[in-house]
Amino acid sequence: MTSAALRRDEDGAPVVATARAALYLRVSTGRQADSDLSIPDQRRQIEGYCLSRGWEVTAEFVEPGNTATDDRRPAFQAMIDAAMQKPSPFNIILVHSFSRFFRDQFQFEFYVRKLAKNGVKLISITQDLGDDPMSVMMRQIMTLFDEYQSKENGKHTLRAMKENARQGFWNGARAPIGYRVVAAGERGAKIKKKLEIDPIQAETVRRIYRMALNGVDNKGPMGLKSIATWLNENNIRTRDGGRWGLGAVHQVLTRTTYIGQHRFNTRDHKTKTPKPESEHAVMEVPAIVSEAEFEAVQRSLKARSPKMMPPMAVGGPTLLTGICFCACCGGAMTLRTGTSSVGREYRYYTCSTKARQGATGCPGITVPMDRLNEAVVDHLEARLLDPARLEALMDQILERRDEWVNQRREHVADLERRATEAEAKLKRLYDAIENGVIDVNDPSLKDRITELTATRDQAKGDSERALAHIVKIGPAITPETLRAFAAALRKKLRNGDGTFARDQIRAVAQRVEVVSRKEVRIRGLRSELLRTLTAASGVEAAVLGVRAFEPKWRTRHDSNV
């Protein structure tokens, strides 16, 4: 490369034009940028290269902490935009090595050719090549090797980060709501970090789970939109002070981090597509909710999902639509209507397979809707609401009551300690202002006072709510209270107009299988049955944390109690 380029003026006479160069300086990570070594060294060497050739440096583009595997780099795009101007403010782009420009061979060649069309050339000061075919081939080999080396480095880095997560250490990024990052020790020059529960935000997470399972004041489970609306209306904000949306609530309710299993490497960082579970690294963290709560929420979300159950089955008028199935073929029992000779309308549950394909598809039966509805509700009343059976079911809950109360009292103590610490810091801050140690005009003073005041007030409020939640457990459950509860729930199962309480039925019976005109199997998740009973009786808190040892219950089997 020469220090000047020939061009011709309007009369055709040759004119010498000095080369104009733009410097592109890049490091891959923020840590390298903070060290302030690599970029100054690149600048020094490139400027010396220009000085030795008499080139004019007209622009400089610095990329601190961005990878060269893609073109999503602000300084890079600004440089390309400037280079594509007509005329371009520079005709040479100088880099320390080709890997500073790109570590993707295809993209590298794309941008080199794009620049060349506008008369801009890319030059590496440590890999100076010509324009002949042999030099072009060597450049392509170098960039291909850079791409391979980048992928190998990424593979080894990811392997190390996965192992770091398995050992219980945090790899960076922002902690999920309900947690905060704390130092856990040093290993060489690196400070290892872990997640610990943030007492203030953790109570918000627990509240979201309680609303998903039992609603506000035990008025019934709430969906994502209802939860987000309630949080926003009650001025309970996200960690950043923003408003809750469906996505944020859904993430809280589906993240296994809250049961002590934070998953790392779940998505591809480029395409955002989910990775197979075999590639996940599970990091153990302190749990905020119990596994029983988490699993119950997952079942609730699954049951509400339009992919699992059509909206008509959730909001339609028919009692058993969506949960009634033919025991012969497994197909859904759907509603059919007919009219007698005198004009009376009849309604039936019919096997959908038989209705579509006839008896050759399924020999299923047709059952009058009123008879099946009455039979299901009568059986649930007689079987599930027997006080002796309820007492056996509640024994396991009462055994865990004291353990739950102790855990919540420890949580209240953490919140009170957090409020006390914030109050003490505020007092010391005010004392320092009075003594003239701190300038009242300091712009950061107001923000600090606001932050400490918000921390104190929220900790106090959450402490009071958590304490009130413990008090709501109420007195010990006795056989008398169980009998009263059974009588009250019997009334709830039937509405005043003679219809049935649809939500109550679906809460305790998730599947009704019609075997014959005289036999029906009612299936349901035992944990959902327990939670429904306790929520309706006003002892919702006592069930929290209780595992369901039987995956399903069947009304005809005494062993389920």
Provide the annotated active-site residues. 28
C-alpha to C-alpha distance for 95 and 293, rounded to whole angstroms: 56
234-265: string of b/e by CB count within 10 Å (b at 16+)? eebebbeeeebeeebbeebbebbbbbbbbbbb
> With contact defined as beta carbons under 8 Å apart, do 184 and 192 qualify?
yes
Alpha-helix runs per DSSP H in 472-515: 479-493, 502-508
* Terminal C-alpha separation, the chain: 88
> With contact defined as beta carbons under 8 Å apart, do 12 and 3 qualify?
no
> With contact defined as beta carbons under 8 Å apart, do 262 and 286 qualify?
no
The backbone torsions φ and ψ at residue 484, rounded to the nearest 5 degrees and listed phi first, read -65, -40
Bridge partners, residue 136, by sequence: none
Contacts of 429 (CB under 8 A, 6+ apart): 438, 445, 448, 449, 452
> With contact defined as beta carbons under 8 Å apart, do 327 and 515 qualify?
yes
Nearest Cα to Cα of residue 539 among 253, 214, 300? 214
C-alpha to C-alpha distance for 204 and 177, rounded to whole angstroms: 9
Alpha-helix runs per DSSP H in 178-333: 199-214, 224-233, 246-254, 291-304, 311-315
Per DSSP bridges, beta strands 333-339 and 345-351 are antiparallel
